[in-house]
Amino acid sequence: MMKTFTLISLVFLASLSPLHAQVSIGIRGGYTLSATQIKNAQGYKSNSIGTSSQLKNLHADLMINVPVYKAIYFQPLVRYITKGAYLRPLPTKPGTLVESANQLTLRYLEVPMNLVVKFPLRMGKIVAGMGPYVAYGLGGSYDLDLMYNGDVLSTNSHSVKFNYKDRGIAPGTQLNRFDAGANISLGIEFNNTMVLGANLSRGFANLDRTSSAKITNSYFSVSLGFLFDREDY
């Protein structure tokens, strides 16, 4: 599946070349705050972005600008990103041992596909847009606490095995490798070819393959980078 996803991405990027002679390419990197929302039938609910559950990490982007019509552009990204969260302990009963994940990290190759509008300024352009994204899970890990009467007895780290019956986040959980959702973006393209951007992403695909819970990703990111050229030069 990874080879298929990579091939599709390469074909997608190659297909952009004939669309317009002034397609521009850039690179960015930055800071990510992510959260993984989990809701199950037992009433467990993890927190979202803006709370203590958010996970801090980095991301890297390949950015492409494709002129569509006047100030409207198609701006896809190829993004390497780590999503996940710090998770609250599962509820425990007195005198029982419980396994509970306290940290989840999931590494993805993600392709946001935004339609953006560029507003000219003296210092450059304001860029605002939105669109869907698809993502392919490369791997991940989780820390699993063994708890007794609410106290942590031991903690072990495990690898996430997509599409495989894994006992990590909750007993019997199976995670889907693919993620999908929508995002909005806002940024500035400076006249010196530097770019600054922010992105808010919300996953709609349920990552739980067993249908026993609803697991979705979300994140907020800030990026800084530069364009190799400008399509309006």
Q: State the 10-residue block means of pLDDT for the chain, 233 residues long.
A: 50 49 88 88 65 85 93 96 83 70 89 96 94 95 76 78 69 82 96 94 90 87 92 58
Burial (CB < 10 A; 0-12, 13-18, 19+), residue 99, is middle
Sequence-separated (6 or more) residues with CB below 8 Å from residue 184: 129, 130, 199, 200
- Residue 20's pLDDT is 46
- Looking up tokens 């007195």 gives 94
| Count of CB atoms situated within 10 Å of the CB of 157 | 9
Q: What is the pTM of this model?
A: 0.82
Query: Terminus-to-terminus CA distance in the chain, angstroms?
Result: 39
As a whole number of angstroms, the distance between CA 99 and CA 168 comes to: 8
Structure tokens at 214: 């609803």
CATH top-level class for 2-85+104-142+174-227? Answer: mainly beta
Name 70's Cβ contacts closer than 8 Å, sequence gap at least 6: none
CB atoms within 10 A of CB 10: 11
